[in-house]
Chain A
């Protein structure tokens, strides 16, 4: 457990808070009296994919749901410490969570298309934040292209989103989040309900999104996936962030026994 304090920031010299778009400082999360996430400090930069890995119930999804304050919707959930977005603490009471979530998008484990047409799903967020109807078609196309779904659905934009396959639905949800032009995209095990081909398509999409300058944070229980898509990794165990750093370094030379055991499949 000594490792957790020494490796808090992975490579502290290069991830000074100033260069980070989003950062947590001694962030804790409690459900009632139980602390589900012990003090965690991490930094996330634009254009990078960060993966949270670890066994089930280790706190990785809990942390992710803090970053756009989705935990505010959970009764009995309290957060401590600080979350800095563009240098400002978003846990401060005067922060407008609705505005915040327009620039920090999120995609869930299960695809969640609304019972609307494909186009209306993509335009859902912008419409509720005052998008002019004239710009809607362009925006829908752009978002669907970025999510690599345009070619498959361009002739069916008026059809129900519920008629799409699971993989398409998930990419639609990514498009829906991208339609808000977010600076940060949070993905909570986005491929766990999908087949390998859909998973591959979504991983490609994730790399492209990061390449376009978005800060991507993905939770996954799949080591191979973390290796394929992420630049940096943070390993969680029982609510503690054990180790973090560049993915290749972490995978090739884990500094803690815990991560080494996890990577070799001794538990998880």
Chain B
């Protein structure tokens, strides 16, 4: 019956509609599928290219990978006594991890307090005032953060810590402000996802609001808060411009938080424009990019693992 109707309709509709339905469906699948393929190809090409170029340091230029990861002298133009280029990336790797961890250590407690206030204590004020402010902070370009950091944070640091004011401390402060909105909004989501029934369950046991927030709400939201933290770390790790403006960009392991330092991203952005491709220095910079890429993938993997674990405990 249905087949008969469809068959009868096709004869008259064929002239009005350029494509029959079945073919139209194929076009839809084709267009969306092509986009998927495009993205997959894009990501694959990117990974292959960064790996290929980054590994050239070790395969073509003959640098020992272990020496690259643990060496402390970064001067790819020069060579050591044994003829190996001086390519120790440890100062940058150290710098990247230092600013990431320190900025997260500063941002997480603040983000958690903000989120508790917005979700548990004053949801009305949170929604009306804080939400737009947090969204605004996300939208500010990183060069603006860098400028303000340069003018305010570096000057302020110099005023009490001495030295130049550049360094891991200043970079961490600037980064903390930059990742604060990311961590806050994801933590807000995590706290808001805790069912009210659990809060009531805790109140019914005679627990106070603070006991409930601490032992039930925050505790239940830990997987979500960890996800927020890791995404904040990923952002801090990958941020280039603002960090480059306030860290000083000296490829050395600093003796204190207030000495010039460098991160993978800052050395990369500073150096890449000045080198012809294929040179030893350019290859070395690609190797830094490879380290960044591997770390970013690691962060994303961690987020997935947290998500998986959460599913298991919920089941």
Contact = CB atoms under 8 A, between A and B. Distances in A.
Contact of B220 (A68, A106, A115, A180): A115
Interface in B283-315: 313-315
Contact of B205 (A73, A115, A116, A180): A180
A70 B200 contact: yes
B197 interface: yes
Contacts of B276: none
Interface string B26-62: 0000000000000000000000000000000000000
Nearest to A105: B204
B227 to A, nearest CB: 15
Contact of A114 (B211, B220, B314): B220
A163 B313 CA distance: 7
A244 to B, nearest CB: 25
Nearest to A126: B205
Contacts of A102: 205-206
A173 interface: yes
Interface string A135-164: 000000000000000000000000010110
A97 B203 CA distance: 9
Interface in A107-127: 107-108, 110, 112, 114-116, 124-125
Query: A interface, by DSSP: helix, strand, loop or mixed?
Result: helix
B202 interface: yes
A86 B5 CA distance: 78
Interface footprint category on A: 20 to 34
Nearest to B216: A114
A159 B215 CA distance: 18
A128 B219 contact: no
Given A98-B206, A102-B206, A180-B206, A110 B211 contact: no
B212 to A, nearest CB: 9
Which among B202, B203, B206, B219 has the highest number of chain A CB atoms within 10 Å?
Answer: B206
A176 B222 CA distance: 22
B219 A125 contact: no
Contacts of A124: 202, 205, 215
B201 A128 contact: no
Contact of B313 (A99, A107, A160, A177): A160
A20 interface: no
Contacts of B204: 68, 70, 101, 105-108, 177
A115 B219 contact: yes
A112 B204 CA distance: 11
A84 interface: no
B132 to A, nearest CB: 23
Contacts of B79: none
B198 interface: yes
Contacts of A160: 313
B200 A73 contact: yes
Interface string A63-74: 000001010010
Interface in A21-75: 68, 70, 73
Contacts of B313: 115, 160, 162
Contacts of B215: 114, 124, 128
Nearest to B221: A115
A107 B220 CA distance: 20
A99 B205 CA distance: 9
A163 B206 CA distance: 25
Contacts of B197: 108, 110, 112
B193 to A, nearest CB: 11
Contacts of A110: 197
A100 interface: yes
A88 interface: no
A177 B219 CA distance: 20
Interface string B141-153: 0000000000000
B207 interface: yes
Nearest to A74: B200
Contacts of A129: 206
Closest 9 CB pairs of A and B: A125-B205, A112-B201, A101-B206, A106-B204, A102-B206, A112-B197, A115-B220, A98-B206, A128-B207
Interface of A: 68, 70, 73, 97-102, 105-108, 110, 112, 114-116, 124-125, 128-129, 160, 162-163, 173, 176-177, 180
7 contacts: A105-B205, A106-B204, A112-B195, A112-B198, A116-B219, A162-B314, A173-B201
Given A97-B206, A129-B206, 6 more contacts: A105-B205, A108-B204, A114-B216, A114-B220, A115-B219, A177-B205
